[in-house]
Chain A
Amino acid sequence: MATTTGRPPLWRDVRVLAWTFQIAVVLVVVAIVFWLLDNLRVNSQRLNIPTGFGHLDQPSSFPIPGSDFRQTQPVRDALVEGFQNTLRLAITGIALATVAGVLIGIARLSQNFIVRSAARAYVEFVRNVPLFCLLFVMYGAVVLNAFPRVADSWDVGPVAIVNVRGASTFWFEGGNWKFVVALLSAGIVAFLVARWRSRIADRTGTPGRTGLWALPTAAVVLVVVWIVLGLGATAPEIDGARVTGGITMTPEYFAALAALVIYTSSHVAEIVRGSIQAVPRGQGEAANALALSGFQRLWHVVLPQAMRIGVPPIGNQYLNLAKNSSLAAAISFPELTKVTQLTVANRSPAVPSFALLLGIYLVLSLVISLFVNLANRRLAIVER
């Protein structure tokens, strides 16, 4: 055929069609966003409500229970306070949920019938009820209704005092930064010792016993630095109608933390179980053939491979936990969402306040997923 095939007509050219379609979609999206923003502008002008962030410098005119925050401080400080509470809840929750979840996940695969069944009952129950119910149960039915009054607290000496006003335990005394320095130096020494021992193990083939070396050394370093910096320790004591000393979790914080940990740990446990089962059976059998003990088999052979499978979904659970910490607003724990609700109730404009709130949660989520991705990359198999 001698006909030269030039470009097809415009209405049949795939590339033209594709771009027209895309531009149309983008235009529609942009138009909707503009329409919404324009409505916001018009409505705000009509009601004489500001759309900027000027309210952040106004006095907040509400107190935050359980902190030194005063009513005269600006809204900005209130939000910072709320964000700190959210972070406290999220970080502690993630740490505890990981530990509990891994233990329960392993328990689900135990050879012991009772342990296996108890773990299964826990997971099957908790995973299938709403977190919100657990939260109200922990707060209303457990903390407020079942915990004793201060006079008859459950008192485990310096370790814990639990009553309806909260749960207290021992804590350090004498400056936050000193505490951080002490912890950091102990951690660094432990890391160095562990690396030194594993190098020796690599070189000589003798067992490294990294844990046996690193942990006592770290403990000694911690004690020494503690004494050198002049840090003290305080234990909780019942002093009439209240508990003094130590560190006290408010009932709201305790209930929110417990509910988040119980709920998330059941999900983490399921992921851990699935990941361990996804490790080929031959790996465990090979460990048995090498005469490794049960703990060695789990710690050196099975868990490292299971982690590779389990880290991305567990990271999702961390994200969920951080976002679910907003539910604590419903039991009046002054985290970010509750504080924002309070500011809106105290004449801060609703839309900018909520936009800021959403933005902060978005950044928090991105930061967490960044950490998870880093962990994931470190664990991934290095291929050619």
Chain B
Amino acid sequence: MQTFLTEDLAVPPPEPPRPPTAGPADWVRRNLFRSVGDGVVTVVAAIVVGFVVFRFARFLFSTGRWEIVRTNLKLFMVGRYPADELWRIVVALTAVAFVGGLIAGFVARRHVVAGTVAPDQPVTRRLVALVGRLWPLVVGVLLLLFLSSSPGPWLTAAAIVVAAVLGRLAGPYLPRRSAVVLVLGSIVLAAALVWFLTRPVGWDRWGGIMLNLFLATAGITLCFPLGVLLALGRRSKLPLIRAVCIAYIELFRGVPLFVLLLLSAIALGFFIPTWLEPPGLVVRAIVVFTLFTAAYVAEIVRGGLQSLPKGQTEAAQALGLSPVKTTFLIVMPQALRNVIPALVGQFISLFKDTTLAGAAMGFLDALQVANAATAQDAFRGQRLLAESLGFVMLLFWIGCITMSRESQRLERTLGVGTR
């Protein structure tokens, strides 16, 4: 039909689109002064935005009294973790950086082998790309180093960078089938590090952004398997399993996290027998975060499962795969790939929600440090809440924006929506 029309009526071929005229004057016309009304909007918006930016810059460089952050930097970062034991945190961070580098190197090598990435890119170019990717993190670390008044943080940062680079260099030489070993090793390492870090002080003296990061990491790791199981249960053909899963998911999605945290802080003792010692507050917080987020993860994973064409399951069955293999080798990888943005969004929101635990359970997490610091003798009554809270918001912003940017990148690498 199409060819018939074109030949018969001899429609002239469409002109190629005109290339957009370049040049700053043209850019200004197109983006700022498209019409008279647009020009008015530009002027008004420029005045408003200029005012806000001016006030913000003035707060940042002139009126803001950042002494409160500088003095309490250790409290903001690690809470009341004893100074003599800080080396444990350095060791833990270095180990994490090394393993992170190792995994990155291993994955990069596999990409090169698979031919999805060009092998020989100059180191400088890779470094520029890395900084471009992680600039919020880089800026944040530099700011922290700038604020610190002792050599400790500098040495820590150096150790972390060296460990990461060593790991990255060693990673490509791992044998081809090390993926499982790496995953299991990371889990074992994580458990060992938690033991290593809690040995001198126990959880209840952890604090600062370290506590937020730990609660978030633990919650994310533990909620994920539970969430996947709940999603599978909700789509199961077995009516009783489905009913249990639906009840669980809807119950937890319908109540506020803050109330659950309060409940577990105040009333958990009623629900366990007297011979059992009630768990510590950090454990309770982790359990609540896990149970709560699992319900949301389940709904996201269910969305991923529903987005998958039925043919995938049928093809796997045709190949004679068992139901378990069909689910975990064929269906789940594709379903999870489709919902990476939503999953990371949920994890970001869990990271932000760790601030609730501080208020509900009385931890000295980063937000509570910010509140408490303004009540110190040196800073009381000086209206420094904007400075201390601003710093905490910056820490959270760096963490969240890094996660969301990396998830977008992962999405592109895995080719969601293009394959």
Interface residues of A (CB under 8 A from B): 18, 21-23, 25-26, 29, 36, 39-40, 42-44, 46, 111-115, 118, 124-125, 127-134, 136-137, 140-141, 145-146, 319, 323-324, 326-327, 329-330, 337, 341, 344, 350-351, 354, 357-358, 361-362, 365-366
Residue on B nearest A353 in the bound complex, by CB:
B267
Distance in Å: Cβ of B217 to nearest Cβ of chain A:
16
Asked if A26 contacts B244 (CB within 8 A), the reply is yes
* Interface-side segment among B184-192, B252-260, B331-339: B252-260
Residue on A nearest B136 in the bound complex, by CB:
A128
Contacts of B262 in A (CB 8 A): 337, 341, 354
Q: Which of B32, B259, B270, B271 contacts A337 (CB 8 A)?
A: B259
Q: 1/0 per position for B216-243, CB-CB distance to A under 8 A?
A: 0000000000000000000000111100
Interchain CA distance A324-B251 in the complex, whole Å: 16
Q: 1/0 per position for B360-402, CB-CB distance to A under 8 A?
A: 0000000100110010000000010110011011001100110
Asked if B386 contacts A141 (CB within 8 A), the reply is yes
Contacts of A137 in B (CB 8 A): 385-386, 389-390, 393
B49 at interface by CB-CB < 8 Å: yes
Asked if A44 contacts B389 (CB within 8 A), the reply is no
B308 at interface by CB-CB < 8 Å: no
Distance in Å: Cβ of B258 to nearest Cβ of chain A:
5
Distance in Å: Cβ of B274 to nearest Cβ of chain A:
7
B204 at interface by CB-CB < 8 Å: no
* Interface-side segment among B9-17, B34-42, B120-128, B313-321: B34-42
Asked if A350 contacts B266 (CB within 8 A), the reply is yes
Contacts of A42 in B (CB 8 A): 273-274
Contacts of A21 in B (CB 8 A): 238, 241
B164 at interface by CB-CB < 8 Å: no
Contacts of B348 in A (CB 8 A): 128
Closest 10 CB pairs of A and B: A128-B400, A113-B31, A130-B352, A323-B256, A365-B254, A22-B240, A141-B386, A326-B256, A132-B355, A362-B254
Asked if A354 contacts B267 (CB within 8 A), the reply is yes
A44 and B270 in contact (CB under 8 A), knowing A132-B359, A362-B251? yes
Asked if A132 contacts B367 (CB within 8 A), the reply is yes
Q: 1/0 per position for B338-361, CB-CB distance to A under 8 A?
A: 000000000010001101100100
Contacts of B257 in A (CB 8 A): 323
Asked if B254 contacts A114 (CB within 8 A), the reply is no
Give the number of residues in B that approach A within 8 Å (Cβ atoms): 57
Contacts of A131 in B (CB 8 A): 352
Contacts of A29 in B (CB 8 A): 244
A133 and B355 in contact (CB under 8 A), knowing A22-B241, A140-B389? yes
Asked if B256 contacts A361 (CB within 8 A), the reply is yes
Q: Which of B255, B266, B274, B352 contacts A361 (CB 8 A)?
A: B255
B329 at interface by CB-CB < 8 Å: no
Is chain A's binding surface mostly helix, strand, loop or mixed?
helix
Contacts of B263 in A (CB 8 A): 354, 358
Q: Which of B30, B240, B356, B371 contacts A23 (CB 8 A)?
A: B240
Contacts of B374 in A (CB 8 A): 140
Asked if A129 contacts B397 (CB within 8 A), the reply is yes
Add 18 more A-B contacts to A118-B45, A354-B267 (CB < 8 A).
A25-B240, A26-B240, A42-B274, A43-B269, A43-B271, A114-B46, A127-B400, A128-B397, A129-B396, A131-B352, A136-B389, A137-B386, A137-B389, A140-B371, A140-B389, A341-B262, A358-B255, A366-B254
Asked if B254 contacts A43 (CB within 8 A), the reply is no
Interchain CA distance A46-B275 in the complex, whole Å: 13
Asked if B241 contacts A129 (CB within 8 A), the reply is no
A133 and B45 in contact (CB under 8 A), knowing A25-B240, A39-B273, A114-B32? no
Asked if B238 contacts A22 (CB within 8 A), the reply is yes
Contacts of A330 in B (CB 8 A): 258, 359
Distance in Å: Cβ of B65 to nearest Cβ of chain A:
13
Contacts of A112 in B (CB 8 A): 31-32, 34, 38, 41-42, 45
B404 at interface by CB-CB < 8 Å: yes
B272 at interface by CB-CB < 8 Å: yes
Interchain CA distance A40-B385 in the complex, whole Å: 42
Asked if B272 contacts A133 (CB within 8 A), the reply is no
Asked if A25 contacts B254 (CB within 8 A), the reply is no
Interchain CA distance A140-B383 in the complex, whole Å: 9
A125 and B397 in contact (CB under 8 A), knowing A40-B270, A358-B255, A361-B256? yes
Interchain CA distance A18-B238 in the complex, whole Å: 7
Distance in Å: Cβ of B87 to nearest Cβ of chain A:
30
Contacts of A145 in B (CB 8 A): 383, 385-386
Contacts of B352 in A (CB 8 A): 129-132
Contacts of A357 in B (CB 8 A): 259
Contacts of B383 in A (CB 8 A): 141, 145
